């Protein structure tokens, strides 16, 4: 079975993209899909342990090396387009695409986690949207369930649809927000977007659980079969 790449983006930074990507990788591996993970750029990296790329590599099916799941890391916690020149790094987008293509050749499915939101600049004139367009990827948007998420979600949807990118819908993340909107956001977004809501992820600390339990980072009763069907080429 051939699957298009899955791009996991979000309405902002820190909304739960790594939790979603790792949970999906473990869950899909359990369904017999050979999954690899890819975090091409990551900012705010102090050491090799506990990075998003390291977590995603652990979540993959075949003991993926962290170095295989990343291309560029930056110490400064800012957008890669800012961090790279500050640290004397020249980002080659062609190299990113080559590394992604190599993973696709070896695995059934590659899950790509972005840095920040969809349009956060990764290199001059290049962002996660461009990567999705160039690879024919499908995109899942992680939404932090709090006041203001509807606008951010609908803007992201419009950009994806205008660009012709396959849009799978939204995956909410329980932020623990105590505002009234957290109760109504999912239903309102379902009605206004006309797109599928894949549920709401629970508050889940990946570091506190063994990899085998990371599928629990996804919503209860997550429909794996429907999700895989949407990813088929």
Rounded distance, CA 141 to CA 20, Å? 10
User: What are 23-59's pLDDT values in tens digits?
Assistant: 999 999 999 999 999 999 999 998 777 899 999 999 9
Which domains does the chain possess? Answer: 6-231 (3.40.50.300)
Count of Cβ atoms closer than 10 Å to residue 109 Cβ? 24
CA angle 145, 27, 8 (to 5 degrees): 45
pLDDT band at 63 (very low <50, low <70, confident <90, very high): confident
Specify which residues 166 forms β-bridges with.
138
Least confident of 60-64, 156-160, 198-202: 60-64
| pLDDT in the model for residue 1 | 58
pLDDT bin (cut points 50, 70, 90) of residue 194 is very high
Distance CA 183, CA 198 (A): 16
CB 3 within 8 A of CB 231: yes
C-beta separation of 153 from 188 below 8 A: no
pTM (whole model) above 0.85: yes
User: Distance between CA 88 and CA 108 in Å, rounded?
Assistant: 35
Q: Which active-site residues does the annotation give?
A: 39
pLDDT the model gives residue 108: 96
Per-residue pLDDT at 212 exceeds 70: yes
The span from the CA of 34 to the CA of 57, in Å, is: 13
DSSP 174: -
> Over the stretch 68-125, which tens digit does the pLDDT of each residue have?
999 999 999 999 999 999 999 999 999 999 999 999 999 999 999 999 999 999 999 9
177 pLDDT band, cuts 50/70/90, is confident
């Amino acid at each position: 079975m051939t699957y298009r790449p899955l791009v996991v983006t979000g309405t902002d930074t820190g909304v739960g993209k790594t939790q979603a990507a790792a949970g999906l990788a473990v869950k899909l591996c359990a369904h017999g899909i050979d999954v690899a993970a890819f975090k091409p750029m990551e900012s705010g990296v102090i050491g090799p342990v506990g990075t998003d790329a390291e977590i995603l590599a652990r979540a993959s099916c075949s003991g993926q090396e962290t170095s295989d799941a990343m291309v560029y890391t930056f110490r400064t916690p800012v957008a890669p387009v800012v961090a790279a020149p500050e640290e004397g790094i020249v980002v080659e987008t062609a190299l990113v695409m080559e590394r992604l293509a190599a993973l696709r050749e070896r695995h059934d499915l590659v899950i790509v986690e972005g840095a920040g939101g969809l349009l956060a600049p990764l290199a001059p004139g290049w962002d996660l949207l461009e990567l999705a367009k160039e690879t024919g990827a499908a995109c899942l948007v992680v939404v932090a369930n709090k006041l203001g998420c509807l606008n951010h979600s609908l803007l992201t949807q419009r950009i994806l649809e205008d660009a012709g990118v396959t849009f799978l819908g939204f995956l909410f993340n329980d932020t623990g927000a105590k505002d009234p909107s957290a109760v109504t956001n999912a239903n309102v977004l379902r009605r206004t977007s006309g797109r599928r809501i894949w549920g709401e992820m629970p508050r889940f600390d990946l570091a506190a659980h063994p990899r085998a339990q990371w599928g629990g980072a996804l919503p209860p009763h997550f429909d794996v079969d429907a999700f895989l069907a949407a990813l088929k080429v």
